[in-house]
Structure 1
Amino acid sequence: MTIQQISSFAAGEWLAPGAGARNIASAITGDVIASAGNNDLDVQAMLDYGRKVGGANLRKMTFHDRARMLKAVALHLQKNRQAMYDLSFDTGAIQSDHLIDIDGGIGTMLVFASKGRREMPDGHVYLDGEVEQLSRNGTFLGQHICTSLQGVAVHINAFNFPVWGMLEKVAPTLLAGVPCIVKPATNSCYVTELCVRLMLDSGLLPEGALQLVSGGLGDMLDRLTMQDVVSFTGSADTAMKLRSNPVILENSVRFVAEQDSLNASILGPDAEPGTPEFDLFVKEVQREMTTKAGQKCTAIRRIFAPENTVQAVIEALSARLAKTVIGDPRLETTRMGALVSNGQKRDVLEKAAIIGQEAERVYGDPENFTVDGADAERGAFVPPMLFHCADPDNAQRVHDTEAFGPVSTVMGYRDVDHAVELVNKGMGSLVASVITHDSDVARQVAMGAGAYHGRIYFNNRDSMKESTGHGSPLPHMVHGGPGRAGGGEELGGIRGVKHYMQRTAIQGSPDILSAIGGTWVPGAAEIKGPAHPFTRTFHEVSIGETMYTEPRIVTMEDIEHFANFTGDTFYAHMDQDAAERNPFFPGRVAHGYLLLSFAAGLFVEPNEGPVLANTGLDNLRFMKPVSAGDSIKVRLTVKKKTPRNEEYGEVRWHVTLTNQDNEMVAEYELLTMNAY
C-alpha cells in the first residue's frame, strides 16, 4: 500500500513530511495510509509571510472583492468535491457525513460571500453602529468602525470535520482581510490538505492568504502579537493549555475557543408518546447519536424526559438504534461508520465506563455488535450506547464527562424548572434543544437556560419539516457557548467576521467621519452636481452630492383629498376638535404619507433614466406636524453607494423635509437601484 505524504504549505512552498512525522491509520482497517508532520518548519517565516505578503494583498481588496473571491473558491470546491468524498471515507465517515462536512463547509463559504456583498460596503472600513452626536450643534461626532487586523489568524481545528471545520473559520477570516494559517488535527489532515491544494491550485486566492501546517505547530504560538488571532476547536484541556500560553496572555492575543460541550435535549411535558413531538424527539436523538458516529461537537450527550415517559423514550430510542447498520462507510447500506482512530475508540470506551459508574447501559454492547464489511477489531468501530441515570440530581460524571462518540444518557425530570436545573448542570454548552408544542414551556426554558447555552433549538410539528436539526450550526447564527463550551462565538454572520477586525471609536467633524467611513454624514460638505442626480448613473453620482427643491404649500384641500382617496380618515386629519385635544397636534394636520408623496413629487425626475427602481426607505421619522398653509421643501443627498451586480448598484439617499421656518418635519433614507 502506498503511504500518502501529507505536506504543509509554508511561506509559499509545499514541504513534505520530515523529522517528527507521524503515521496516520485508516479508521476502517487500522492500516497506515499516510504520514504527516515536520519539526523543521520555519514558523517565523510563515508568520512573516502571512503578515507581510498575505495581509497586504488581502487589505488591498474591498469587502466585496473578498466576498466575490470566497464565492469563486466555494464554487471551485463544489466542482471538485468528489475527490474529497473519496478520501474522507478513511476517516470513518459515511456519504451523508461527507455532505455535512464537505458540502456544509462549501455552503458556509457561500453564505459569507453573500453576506459580504449584501451587508458590508464595497470598501475597507465597516461601520459598526450609528453616528453618535457628541456636541450640541453636531460639529463633533463619534462612530465605531472596524478595520482588518494586521496579523495572521492561526486556526487549530478538530479531527471530526476536516473540511467544514476549516472553511467555517477561513471564510469570515478572509472576508475580514486577514490571512490564515490552518492547522488541522493530524488524524484527518489528509482531507484538509486536499481541500487546501484545491483552493491554492485554483489561483483565486492572493499570495499569502492561506497556509497549512500538517502536523505540529512547533513554537508558533510563542511568536504571536496583539494583531494575531487564535481560533481553536477541540478539548477543554487543550484549550486551557493553549490559552494559558504566556505570550498569548502577555500580548492579549485574541483566543476564540469552541470546546467540550455536554449538549442536551429536553422532551417537553406536553410531548407524550403518540404525539408528533415524541416521535420527532426520538428521531432527533438517534440522528445526533449516530451522525459522524457521534463525533460532533453539537451531538446530544444528555437526554431529559418527564419521569413518566423515560421508559417509553428508552424503548423507542433503542428500537431506532437497532436499525442503525454499522459498517464500512463505503457501503451504501451503512448508516454509521467508524470513529476516526483506534485511539479515539479507546478514549470513548474509557469515558463510557466513567458514565457507567452513575448510569446503567440500556442499549449497545461494545463487546458484542456486528460490523458489515469490515473487521470490528481492526477498525475503530463502536456501537451506539445508551445509558439511563436514575438519580440525575446527585450524579456528577454524567454532567461533566463527554464520550466523544455515539454515547448518550437518558434522565428523568419532575417539572420544567427541574429540567432547566438539570440541563444547566453541564455548566455551559453549544446547544440545547427543546421539543415541545407549548410556547409557555419554550419561554420558561429560554429564560432559565439561556445563560448556559450558546444556542437553544426549539422544534415541533409546526417547524419540523423545515428545521435544520439540533446539531446543525448555521453560518447565520453564532456557534459557541459559555463556560465549558469555551466562551467563544464563531459564525453568526458578520459578527463572525468582526472577530478578525479591530473596533475603533473615531471622533471628529462630519467631514472627517464621512471621509473615513465612505458614507455621507449630515453636516458634512455637500456637492452640487452638474445635473439632476436622477439623470446620472450609479458611477456618475458622488457621495455627498445634494439637490434642494423648491417649496410646496400644503392646503386643506390636499389633506381632505388624500384622506378620501386613500381611506385614511384618522381623526387628526379630519376632526379639528379631536385633533386639538391630542397633545401632539395643534389641530388638523397633514398625513405623514402625504408629505412623503409630495416630497417624491418635488425631487423625482419623471423621464426614463438610470434610476431603475425605488426599493424602499429606512429610518423614517416625523419630527414636527405640518398644518394646512405650511410649506415643505426637500434636501436630497447621496449618502452611500453599494454595487449589487454587473448591471446596477444601490444608492442610499438621505432625505430631509423642512417647513417654511427651516424646521425639520421629516427625515428618512431612500433606496434606489441605479444603472451603471
Structure 2
Amino acid sequence: MRESVKFYIDGRWTDPADPARSRTLEVVNPATEQVCGTVAVASATDVDRAVAAARGAFPAWSQTSVPHRIEVLRNILDAYQKRSGDLAAALTEEMGAPASLANGFQVGLGAGHLTKAIEVLEDFPFEERRGATLIVKEPIGVCAMITPWNWPLNQIAVKVFPALATGCTMVLKPSENAPSAGQIFAEILDAAGVPAGVFNLLQGDGPGVGVPLSSHPGVDMVSFTGSVRAGVEVARNAAPGVKRVTQELGGKSPNIVLDDAAFAESVAAGVANMMGNSGQTCSALSRMLVPGSRMDEAIGIAREAAAGVTVGDPNGDVAMGPVVSRAQFEKVQSLIQKGIDEGATLVAGGTGRPDGLEKGYFVRPTVFADVTNDMTIAREEIFGPVLTILGYDGVDHAVEIANDTEYGLAGNVAGADLDQARAVARRIRAGWVSINDGFDFGCPFGGYNKSGNGREWGEFGFHDYLETKGLLGYAPDEAAP
C-alpha cells in the first residue's frame, strides 16, 4: 500500500500543518478497482508554508551560476535513473500504464526532457547586448505547478526542469489520482542535493490545493496542465494577482492521411497510436481524415489494426491497460454510446469491457467511421481509446475539417509525398504538427485556441519562466550616433 501522506517543504518531509483536521483520499488501482494507496490533501496553511519556503529560497537560487545549475541537473539525472524502476512500478499501479509503456516512454520522457534541459542551459542566452542597452533574462520568481495523471513524469519534467534551469523556485501539486510519481520525484530531487526550498511538493486535489496555490499572493507564475474547464478556473484564480499563467489543455487533433501509396500503413499506424496510453493523451490524433473514396478501404484496415491491440493486466505483455478511474471509464462509455446513437459506423469495439475482463476500468479499442465533424465524438475530447474516421473530398476540404475545432494542440499529416505533407502541415492551425509521426524533444509544445497558451519542451520551455529586463545606458560608449 503506497502512502503519500507527507509533504516536501523547505527540504524536509513534513506532516500536514493540522493533522487532526487533514483529509486523505484513496488511490485506486484501475486494473483491479482495489485501493492501492492513500494521499493526503494539503490545506491553505500548507500552501502558505510551501510558498514561504520557495520565496525564502529564491534570492539565493536565482543568483546561482549556470555551471552550478547544470551540476545540480546532472545530479538529478543520476538520481532519476537510479529510481526509474520505482517510477515505472508506481505508474503501472496507479494509472494502469502497461509495464512496457511505463518502463519505456513514460519514464523515458522525464529523462529525455532533463537531458534536453541540460543541453539548452549550456548555451542559453540570458544576456544580449544591443548597442548601449543590455537585454537580460531573469527568473520570474516562485512558480506554482499543477500537473495531471495521464503522463505524470512528462508533465512534471517539462515544468520543473526549465524552472530549475532558469533560477526559479517552485511548488508542485501532482494529480491525486497518481500521486506516487510526484512523491518519488521529490525524493529524487532531495537525493540530488537540490537546496532546501527550491522545490516543494504538496499533495491533494484542486479545491483543497489548486485553488489556494493558484491564487496565492506569493506566487509569481502558474503553469497548469489539464482540462479546459479547470484551466479557466486556474486563470480566474490567478487573475487578481496579475500572475503569468501558462496552460496546456485539451485537444481533438486531426491526422490527415493523404491519398498515396502509404495509405494502408498510415491508417494502421494511426489506429495503433490512438490506442497508446489508453487514448489518454492531450495530443492524441483522435480524428483521422481519409479520402472519402477510400473510406471502405480505411474501415477494413482500421478494423484489423484495432483487433490486434491487446488489452489486459498492465503488468503483463499487453499494448493497452485500463483508463485511470471509474469516472473516466463512465465518461468514455457514454461517448461511445453517443457515437452509436448519432449514426456513426461502429468499426471496432463499442461499449462494455473487452471479452474476458470482468473488473477493472478497461475499455474496448473502439473505432468509428463515416463520422461527420458535427457529431459529438468528433467535437468533444473523449480521452479514451476511441478513434473517429472522417472522409474528405480533396486536400482543401481536409484542411477545412482539421481546423474546424475549438482546440488546436496537435496534428499529423501522413503520406509518402513529403512535399505535399509539408504543405498540408503548414496549413493546420495547431501548435505541434508532425509529419509521419515525427518526434523531437526540442520542438515547442503547446496549443492554439482552447488548447492553451505558452510553450513547453526544449529551449521554448525556458521562456515562460523568465522576465525580460532592459538596462539602458549599460554601455554608453556603444550608443548609436
Same fold, TM-score > 0.5, yes or no: yes
Q: In structure 2, what is the Cα distance between the partners aligned to 1:244 and 1:47? A: 19
| C-alpha displacement of 1:213 | 1.2
Q: Assess, with a 3 A threshold, how the Cα gap between structure 1 residues 203 and 485 changes in structure 2: closer, same or farther.
A: same
Among residues 32, 51, 56, which one is paired with 2:55 in the alignment? 51
Matching residue of 1:385:
366
* Residue type at the aligned position of 1:281: S
Which blocks of at least 5 consecutive residues in structure 1 are unaligned? 134-140, 460-468, 513-521, 525-676
- Mapped to 2, the partners of 1:236 and 1:56 lie a distance apart of 34
Residue of structure 2 in register with 1:349 after alignment = 333
Sort the Cα spacing of 1:71 and 1:345 in 2 relative to 1 into closer, same or farther, 3 A. Answer: same
State the one-letter code of the partner of 1:309.
Answer: R
1:315 aligns with 2:280: no
Paired position in structure 1 for 2:276 = 291
Classify the secondary structure of the residue corresponding to 1:47.
helix
Deviations 1:10-39 (A, max 9, x none): 344323575221111101111111111234
Contact 1:63/1:120 (CA < 8 Å) preserved in 2? no
Larger Rg: 1
Deviation of the 1:3 alpha carbon: 5.4
Task: Give the corresponding residue for 2:398.
Answer: 419
| Alpha-carbon distance in structure 1 between the residues aligned to 2:381 and 2:309 | 22
Answer yes or no: is the 8 Å Cα contact 1:364–1:383 preserved in 2.
yes
User: Normalized per residue, which structure has more helix?
Assistant: 2
Distance in 1 of aligned mates of 2:149 and 2:391:
33
Kindly provide the amino acid, as one letter, of the partner of residue 80 in structure 1: R
Identify the match of residue 103 of structure 1 among 103, 108, 112: 108
Residues 207-262 of structure 1 deviation map (CA, whole Å, 9 limit, x = unaligned): 1111111113152222235x6111111100000111112xx213221111001100
The CA distance in 2 between the partners of 1:7 and 1:403, in whole Å, is: 34
Contact 1:6 1:190 in 2 (8 A): no
After superposition, the Cα gap between the structure-2 partners of 1:182 and 1:302, relative to the gap in structure 1 and judged at 3 Å, is: same
CA deviations 1:113-140 (Å, max 9, x no partner) are: 11111x226xxxx125x61x4xxxxxxx
**Residue in 1 that maps onto 2:444:** 478
Secondary structure of the 1:172 match is: helix
Q: In the alignment, does 2:220 pair up with 1:228?
A: yes
Measure how far apart 1:346 and its partner are.
1.2
**Does the 8 Å CA contact 2:4/2:183 hold for their aligned counterparts?**
no
**Deviation per residue, 1:55-112 (Å, 9 max, x gap):** 1232231123212211220122112211112222112101232121211111110111
One-letter code of the match for 1:215? G
**Within 5 A, what are the aligned runs for 1:243-258?**
243-245=235-237, 248-258=238-248
| Structure 1 residue 157, shift from structure 2 partner | 0.5
Distance 1:5 1:73, change over 3 A: closer
Matched, 1:454 2:431: yes
Q: Which residue of 1 aligns with 2:98?
A: 94
- One-letter amino acid of the counterpart of residue 231, structure 2: A
Letter in 2 for 1:105: G
2:71 aligned to which of 68, 72, 88: 68
CA contact 1:399–1:425 (8 Å) conserved in 2: no
Equivalent residues in 2 for 1:362-381 (5 A)? 362-367=347-352, 369-371=354-356, 376-381=357-362
Aligned residue for 1:402?
Answer: 381
- Are the structure 2 counterparts of residues 486 and 523 from structure 1 closer, same or farther at C-alpha, using a change threshold of 3 Å? closer
Q: Give the C-alpha shift of residue 5 in structure 1.
A: 4.1
Alpha-carbon distance in 2 for matches of 1:211, 1:368: 40
Tell me which amino acid in the other structure corresponds to 2:67: H
Give how far 1:345 is off. 0.9
Q: Secondary structure at 1:145's aligned position in 2?
A: strand
Query: Which of 166, 184, 195 is the equivalent residue of 1:206?
Result: 195
Task: Give SS of 2:32's match.
Answer: coil
CA gap 1:38/1:457 in 2 versus in 1, 3 angstroms: closer
Structure 2 match to 1:335: 319
Partners of 1:434 and 1:362 in 2: CA distance: 22
Q: 1:309 to 1:7 in 2, by over 3 A?
A: farther
Say if 2:26 is the partner of 1:23. yes
1:143 deviates by: 4.1
1:146 is aligned to 2:137? yes
Please list, as runs of the form range in 1=range in 2, the aligned pairs for 1:580-659 lying within 5 A after superposition.
none
- Tell me which residue corresponds to 1:188: 178
Aligned-pair CA distance for 1:396: 4.5
Q: Per the alignment, do residues 413 and 179 of structure 1 end up closer, same or farther by CA in structure 2, a change over 3 Å counting?
A: same
The offset of 1:488, in angstroms, is 2.6
Which residue number corresponds to residue 171 of structure 1? 161
Report the residue type matching 2:188 in the other structure: L
**Superposed displacement of residue 523, structure 1:** 7.5
* 4-13 vs 338-347, greater mean Cα deviation: 4-13
| Deviation for aligned residue 1:458 | 1.2
1:487 to 453, 456, 462: 453
Question: 2:157 is matched by which residue type in structure 1?
Answer: L
* Structure 1 residues 178 and 424: alpha-carbon distance in aligned structure 2, compared to 1, 3 A threshold: same
Q: Quick one: distance in 1 between partners of 2:308 and 2:351?
A: 16
SS in 2 for 1:328: coil
The structure-2 alpha-carbon separation of the partners of 1:154 and 1:421, relative to structure 1 and needing over 3 Å to count, comes to same
Counterparts of 1:296 and 1:43, CA distance in 2? 29
Per-residue deviation, residues 130-170 of structure 1 (Å, max 9, x unmatched) = 61x4xxxxxxx234321112x31111111111222111211
8 A contact 1:262–1:429 mirrored in 2: yes
CA distance in 2: counterparts of 1:106 and 1:368, whole angstroms = 34
Residue equivalent to 1:567? none
CA contact (8 A) 1:416 1:444 kept: no
The alpha-carbon deviation at position 363 of structure 1 amounts to: 0.8
Superposed, which structure 2 residues align to 1:512-531 within 5 Å?
none
Structure 1 350/7 Cα, relative in aligned 2: closer, same or farther at 3 Å? farther
Structure 1 residues 42 and 313: alpha-carbon distance in aligned structure 2, compared to 1, 3 A threshold: same
Cα shift at 1:506: 2.3
**Equivalent residue letter for 1:64:** P
Contact 1:430 1:480 in 2 (8 A): yes
**Is 1:324 matched up with 2:290?**
no
Structure number with higher relative contact order (C-alpha < 8 Å, ≥ 6 residues apart): 2
Query: Partners of 1:26 and 1:391 in 2: how far apart?
Result: 36
Which of 32, 37, 41 pairs up with 2:35?
A: 32
> Secondary structure of 1:426's match?
coil
- In 1, are the aligned partners of 2:354 and 2:362 still within 8 Å (CA)? no
d(CA) in 1 for partners of 2:402, 2:243: 32
Q: Is the 8 A contact 2:352 2:364 kept in 1?
A: no
User: For residue 233 of structure 1, what is the amino acid of its counterpart?
Assistant: T
Distance (Å, rounded) in 2 between the aligned partners of 1:351 and 1:288: 20
- Structure 1 residues 3 and 398, CA gap change in structure 2 (3 angstroms): closer
**What is the number of residues matched between the two proteins?**
468
**Deviation of the 1:437 alpha carbon:** 2.9
Q: 2:91 & 2:271 partners in 1: Cα distance?
A: 23
Percent sequence identity over aligned pairs: 24
Q: Confirm or deny: 8 A CA contact 1:305 1:412 kept in the other structure.
A: yes
Whichever residue aligns with residue 469 of structure 2, its letter is T
**What letter corresponds to residue 30 of structure 1 in structure 2?**
E
Q: Residues 389 and 398 (structure 1 numbering): CA distance in 2 closer, same or farther, change over 3 Å?
A: farther
